[in-house]
């Protein structure tokens, strides 16, 4: 199904309706999996019973997490109800995923310092922002120049997980580096504007139509731009996209190895460490919840378990 006309049509349907590239890729992955699981039958011939079998397979045989199972469900529901325009009723008789979320891996203050020492320039700044402001890596690479508030020392995060906006703290020590990075963005923009095919940066939602010149203004450029111009898959325009999020993860993992940290470190580990260290310093859990952008405080409470020694603070009899 590598060159499936059906999947290409679904992709085009989503592009026209301004779905994010990330959502399109995720949905297409699970739609393809659903079709293969169902013996390559056309989705119009598959009903609620087949969807329930698919979701049960993911929980029982694949052992996916509840969040992953939910994404797969959303993808299939989109396919049936939006793309095919069919009704999909029921969906109550499938096995819910019971895989528990992992406890977060947290670095000590010294380990964070060692990790950051392995990076320099823009790479250091990206890692320092994930730790210093608790940003997810996708939130980091999607930052635009306008999102940095130097006066109030905060960062505006738009359309974070769940489409939520929030304000997060900004370390004073990063202000000079951020100004240097913005100067770099300005220089890149000057080069791009010399290219007659450059269409400006991608603008969110309908802002491109409302402010047609904003796409070439420095304030709307990505704070961490890609090294080369590329083709926008939505419309074929030549643009400069943001830094690749998977590369951010590789940079952090490599820095952890070079620092001799014997823990399974990812870019999200810096966010976990941000939350845990805030609680260590006496921040209340509601403040941490707002900084992280969690809808439910119970999601934030997992970091209190990291701070408690042993099980719920129980001192081992060996001690």
| Active-site residue, selected from the candidate residues 109, 153, 161, 179 | 161
268 is catalytic: yes
152 is catalytic: no
| Active-site residue, selected from the candidate residues 136, 142, 242, 277 | 136
Spatial contact of 44 and 86, defined as CB atoms under 8 Å apart: yes
| Active-site residue, selected from the candidate residues 57, 146, 253, 268 | 268
136 is catalytic: yes
Q: Please, which residues have CB within 8 angstroms of residue 60's CB and are 6 or more apart in sequence? A: 95
Tell me the C-alpha distance between 37 and 52, whole Å: 12
113 is catalytic: no
Tell me the C-alpha distance between 71 and 235, whole Å: 26
C-alpha dist (Å) from residue 96 to 52, 55, 133, 246:
10, 8, 34, 29
Spatial contact of 74 and 66, defined as CB atoms under 8 Å apart: no
271 is catalytic: yes
For the chain, the residue count is: 319
| Active-site residue, selected from the candidate residues 80, 142, 242, 294 | 294
Tell me the C-alpha distance between 91 and 52, whole Å: 6
| Active-site residue, selected from the candidate residues 80, 137, 271, 277 | 271
Catalytic residues: 136, 161, 268, 271, 294, 303
């Amino acid at each position: 199904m590598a060159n499936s006309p059906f999947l290409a049509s679904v992709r085009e349907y989503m592009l026209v309706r301004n779905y994010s590239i990330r959502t399109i890729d995720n949905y297409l992955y699970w739609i393809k999996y659903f079709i293969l699981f169902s013996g390559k039958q056309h989705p119009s011939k598959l009903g609620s019973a087949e969807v329930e079998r698919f979701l049960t397979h993911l929980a029982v045989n694949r052992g996916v997490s509840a969040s992953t199972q939910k994404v797969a469900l959303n993808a299939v529901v989109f396919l049936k109800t939006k793309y095919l325009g069919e009704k999909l009723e029921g969906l109550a008789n499938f096995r819910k995923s019971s895989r528990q979320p992992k406890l977060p891996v947290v670095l000590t203050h010294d380990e964070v310092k060692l990790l950051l020492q392995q990076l320099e320039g823009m790479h250091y700044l990206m890692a320092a922002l994930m730790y210093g402001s608790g940003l997810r890596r996708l939130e980091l690479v999607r930052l635009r120049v306008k999102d940095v508030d130097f006066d109030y020392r905060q960062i505006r995060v738009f359309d974070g997980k769940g489409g939520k906006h929030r304000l997060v703290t900004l370390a004073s020590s990063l202000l000079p580096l951020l100004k240097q990075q913005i100067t770099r963005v300005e220089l890149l923009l000057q080069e791009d504007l010399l290219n007659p095919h450059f269409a400006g940066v991608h603008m969110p939602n309908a802002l491109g139509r409302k402010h047609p010149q904003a796409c070439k203004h420095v304030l709307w450029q990505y704070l961490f731009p890609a090294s080369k111009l590329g083709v926008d898959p939505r419309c074929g325009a030549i643009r400069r996209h943001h830094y690749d999020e998977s590369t951010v993860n590789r940079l952090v993992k490599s820095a952890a190895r070079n620092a001799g940290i014997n823990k399974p470190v990812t870019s999200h580990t810096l966010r976990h460490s941000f939350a845990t260290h805030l609680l260590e310093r006496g921040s209340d859990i509601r403040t941490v919840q707002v900084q992280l952008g969690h809808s439910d405080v119970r999601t934030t409470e997992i970091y209190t378990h990291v701070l408690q020694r042993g099980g719920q603070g129980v001192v081992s009899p060996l001690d």
